[in-house]
Chain A
Amino acid sequence: MLLEVTSLDAFYGDLQALHQVSINVNDGESVALVGANGAGKTTFLKCVSGLIRQKRGSIEFAGADILSAPAEAITRFGIALTPEGRMLFSSLNVEENLQMGGLNRRRGHWNLQRVYQLFPLLAERRLQMPNTLSGGEQGLVAIGRALMANPRLLLCDEISLGLAPVAVDRIYASFAAIRSEGTAIVLVEQDVKRASSASDRVYCLLEGQVTMHGASRDLDAEDLTRAYFGT
């Protein structure tokens, strides 16, 4: 097992955002994490990537305990996050953003050239500033930036949010290439259909708890609705 999260509680001050969440990801797998706004999906990713300190439980990555590891150290373990809202560096051009991703890179397949091969659009726009790019193009930069670190696990936080379907298609099309290099993916989305079609297994969160878990192809619409909205 690559990522093993057991009984995770997470807090924002006095507010408990996650309750006893247990989620696993295997090497090379693609796992979807779905749920409504505020369900705790982003909180979960932030916990795994070390951005949230107030947490208890167990987070193991490739056998190592990373629960108390700070965000700066997590990248060395081989976890990369495309944050909610993409969070590109606005003073840096496309290429510089990608280079930032490769700052503490591990050895692996991805480098600047290969990222440009995966996303030729970015090669054309390499010297442009992020605010001159479309939302979809920014999404590609965000993924490329994460890939530059050669992660074993790629966490994607709502990368399709606010994007045109065409742009989303382009992003999802790259997942095949990413997975073929052995990288596992956790896809956080509100769009269940899209997420489950690109993943092997699905977890559903509601109000900070896992309400459903199963293989994507076995998803029952009724069960999912109940798990998503809670009735």
Chain B
Amino acid sequence: MVWLGTIINGVLLGGLYGLFGVGLALVFGVTRIVNIMHGEFIALSAFVALGLSMLLPNAHPLLLIAPVVIVSFVLGYALQAIFVNRAMRLPDPVAPLLLTFGLSVIVRNLMVEAFGVNPRSIRRGDFAQLSVDVFGIPIGVLPLVTLALAVVLFLVLQFLLRRTEIGRIVRATADNAETVRLMGVRPASVYNIVMGLSFALAGVAGLMLALRTTFTPFSGVERLLISFEVVVMGGLGSFWGAMLGGIALGVAQLVGLRLNPNSGFLYGNLVFFAFVMLRPNGLFGSRL
């Protein structure tokens, strides 16, 4: 019975992991770049959420979503416009990867200087500790809400991409950036928007992370690796694949921790490696 609880909570954790991964999948699907800053941004968003929650102590944590999304979008847009677009114009295809790597180091260490290395969390005792009893298994409300939020955001993203004009433009740019120019679209502008969206998603992920657990400026590294694994397992650029990948990792993670409480993210990583050996193209090899 206790294993069933572990698995269910693993699935719910998978919602958070899926949320981590979808921003990375979006950027990769359109720009073909793996954004190493992604993890640091999740951590940064957690700190921003912490700051906001201290400024607005009476606000329900979920209300913080709106300001976090807006600030994150702007930051992502700016970073792409100022730095990453430049790196993408360089002849070396490795350049954007190394640029985001360098920026991630800067951001991480700035966070260390600004916030210190001690673990923090958002102290909202009530909300984070709530749980419901489902057939005798305690299920946290926060993880449930996180999964629901992840699904909602996925659906919103799908809607945006498939049924709006801007979504059409993004998909077309991802397909063929040169041809789309013939229709008056500046690929660089599309990349700005996509990165902004990606950061917004990372922002929400960071907020949910902050509510759920303690974090430090070093929390970004692990989240990047999780995001990356989720994206690869799901099939590069596939969102629902990322969700399923996240669930697989979430279950592996919690089962692993139950087997060995000191194992960190070992079991998640091992499942990822097993995937790479057996299904290197991921669950759904399509794009967007």
Direct chain A–B contact by Cβ atoms under 8 Å: yes
Interfacial residues, chain A to chain B (CB-CB below 8 A):
49-51, 70-76, 80-81, 83, 87, 89-92, 96, 99-101, 103-104, 149
**Residue of B169, B172, B288 with most partner-chain A CB within 10 A:** B172
A70 contact set on B, CB distance < 8 A = 181
Q: Is B124 an interface residue (CB 8 A)?
A: no
Contact of A96 among B168, B180, B181, B186 (CB under 8 A): B168
Is the Cβ of A51 less than 8 Å from the Cβ of B168? no
- Chain B binding site: helix, strand, loop or mixed by DSSP? helix
Interfacial residues, chain B to chain A (CB-CB below 8 A):
165, 168-169, 171-172, 174-176, 178-186, 287-288
Is the Cβ of A72 less than 8 Å from the Cβ of B168? no
A188, chain B: closest CB distance, angstroms: 15
> What are 5 A-B residue pairs whose CB atoms fall within 8 Å in the complex?
A89-B179, A91-B287, A99-B168, A103-B184, A104-B183
B169 contact set on A, CB distance < 8 A = 100, 103
Q: Once bound together, how far apart are the Cα atoms of A18 and B231, in whole Å?
A: 45
Q: Once bound together, how far apart are the Cα atoms of A92 and B169, in whole Å?
A: 10
With known contacts A51-B178, A87-B176, A87-B179, A92–B184 Cβ distance under 8 A: no
A10, chain B: closest CB distance, angstroms: 16
Q: Once bound together, how far apart are the Cα atoms of A100 and B185, in whole Å?
A: 10
With known contacts A75-B183, A104-B184, A89–B175 Cβ distance under 8 A: yes
Q: Once bound together, how far apart are the Cα atoms of A104 and B185, in whole Å?
A: 9
B89, chain A: closest CB distance, angstroms: 12
Is the Cβ of A75 less than 8 Å from the Cβ of B178? no
With known contacts A99-B168, A100-B168, A103-B169, A89–B176 Cβ distance under 8 A: yes
Whose C-beta in chain B lies nearest to the C-beta of A87? B179
Whose C-beta in chain B lies nearest to the C-beta of A102? B183
Q: Once bound together, how far apart are the Cα atoms of A51 and B177, in whole Å?
A: 11
Contact of A90 among B168, B175, B186 (CB under 8 A): B175
Q: Once bound together, how far apart are the Cα atoms of A91 and B171, in whole Å?
A: 6
Is the Cβ of B182 less than 8 Å from the Cβ of A75? yes
**Residue of B165, B171, B178, B184 with most partner-chain A CB within 10 A:** B184
B149, chain A: closest CB distance, angstroms: 26
Is the Cβ of A100 less than 8 Å from the Cβ of B180? yes
B98, chain A: closest CB distance, angstroms: 24
Is the Cβ of B184 less than 8 Å from the Cβ of A72? yes
B190, chain A: closest CB distance, angstroms: 11
Is the Cβ of B184 less than 8 Å from the Cβ of A89? no
Q: Once bound together, how far apart are the Cα atoms of A14 and B275, in whole Å?
A: 46
Q: Once bound together, how far apart are the Cα atoms of A49 and B182, in whole Å?
A: 7
With known contacts A51-B178, A71-B181, A100-B180, A89–B186 Cβ distance under 8 A: no
**Residue of A50, A70, A89, A96 with most partner-chain B CB within 10 A:** A89
B157, chain A: closest CB distance, angstroms: 15
A104 contact set on B, CB distance < 8 A = 183-184
A17, chain B: closest CB distance, angstroms: 17
**Residue of A50, A71, A76, A101 with most partner-chain B CB within 10 A:** A71
Whose C-beta in chain A lies nearest to the C-beta of B188? A72
B3, chain A: closest CB distance, angstroms: 41
B186 contact set on A, CB distance < 8 A = 72
Is the Cβ of B182 less than 8 Å from the Cβ of A91? no
Whose C-beta in chain A lies nearest to the C-beta of B170? A91
